[in-house]
Amino acid sequence: MELIKNISTAEQPYLFTRHVHFLNFSRFGGDQPVYINIIRDPVNRFLSNYFFRRFGDWRGEQNHMIRTPSMRQEERYLDINVCILENYPECSNPRLFYIIPYFCGQHPRCREPGEWALERAKLNVNENFLLVGILEELEDVLLLLERFLPHYFKDVLSIYKNPEHRKLGNLTVTVKKTVPSPEAIQILYQRMRYEYEFYYYVKEQFHLLKRKFGLKSHIRKPRPRPEFFIPSPLETEEPIDDEEEDDEKWLEDIYKR
């Protein structure tokens, strides 16, 4: 209630950016804010977090810093393959069930890896988010944000491409990051199968949205993945033309939710 009050009474325009599991303001008598989010490939997210917690990024002193001072040395230098293959808590569920809970919401079952949390997360994406983008296609995310929310994101792509911004962005790269063995990667895929089902669902919805607004960007070819562990995403090769809905009317409908 305190969070809802703080956000609802803030002077406009107001952008709140924090790690918050989805909260339905309307259930508590508040006006629902416009929700936006960006997710990334689950394994890449996990690996970045694993090494960032240990060694930080290039913004610290001497080109890097220790991100978690209280971490024991044997834990800090734990080989990523040992962590995964020997099923350490940090490299197994529920720690790996990370992205879905943020979209699922506040219910305790949202923290339990399974179909219930997955379906609820998908439902919230459809009903309560203006946009959920893919980090691997960030420039297209920015183009859509500028289109949907120009008051907040005017010229955002130009700002993002500015050399000074890119220089600052390079400092946030995680240091000392290594790639696990193929065997360890396959195990991660297995453990994160719900995360990947959600990721591919969001990715497909994002691609549908891009086609609806005429974005046809060049996307880097994704790295190979073990298809027998992860369902392949649906493919939509042609633009949507079965519903000739006005773009602005569609956007108005989103705002009413």
Provide the CATH number for the domain around residue 86: 3.40.50.300
Active site residue 19: yes
Asked, for residue 25, whether it belongs to a domain, the answer is yes
Q: How many structural domains does the chain have?
A: 1
pLDDT for position 175: 80
Domain span including residue 104 = 19-214
Asked, for residue 231, whether it belongs to a domain, the answer is no
- What's the rounded mean pLDDT across residues 216-230? 49
Q: How sure is the predictor about 68, in pLDDT bands with cuts at 50, 70 and 90? A: confident
Question: What pTM was computed for the model?
Answer: 0.82
- What's the rounded mean pLDDT across residues 13-28? 93
pLDDT digits (tens, 9 = 90+) for 102-152: 999 999 999 999 999 999 999 999 999 999 999 999 999 999 999 999 999
Q: What is the percentage of the chain residues whose pLDDT exceeds 90?
A: 64
Asked, for residue 190, whether it belongs to a domain, the answer is yes
Please state, rounded to an integer, the average pLDDT across all residues of the chain. Answer: 84
Asked, for residue 78, whether it belongs to a domain, the answer is yes
Asked, for residue 134, whether it belongs to a domain, the answer is yes
Asked, for residue 136, whether it belongs to a domain, the answer is yes
Asked, for residue 226, whether it belongs to a domain, the answer is no
Asked, for residue 120, whether it belongs to a domain, the answer is yes
pLDDT digits (tens, 9 = 90+) for 178-196: 899 999 999 999 999 999 9
Q: How sure is the predictor about 239, in pLDDT bands with cuts at 50, 70 and 90? A: very low
In angstroms and rounded to an integer, the radius of gyration of the C-alpha atoms of the chain is 20
Kindly tell me if the per-residue pLDDT of 250 is higher than 80.
no
Kindly give the interhelix angle for 193-212 and 42-55, rounded to the nearest 10 degrees.
Answer: 110
pLDDT digits (tens, 9 = 90+) for 70-81: 889 999 999 999
Name the range with the highest mean pLDDT among 145-154, 171-180, 226-235.
145-154
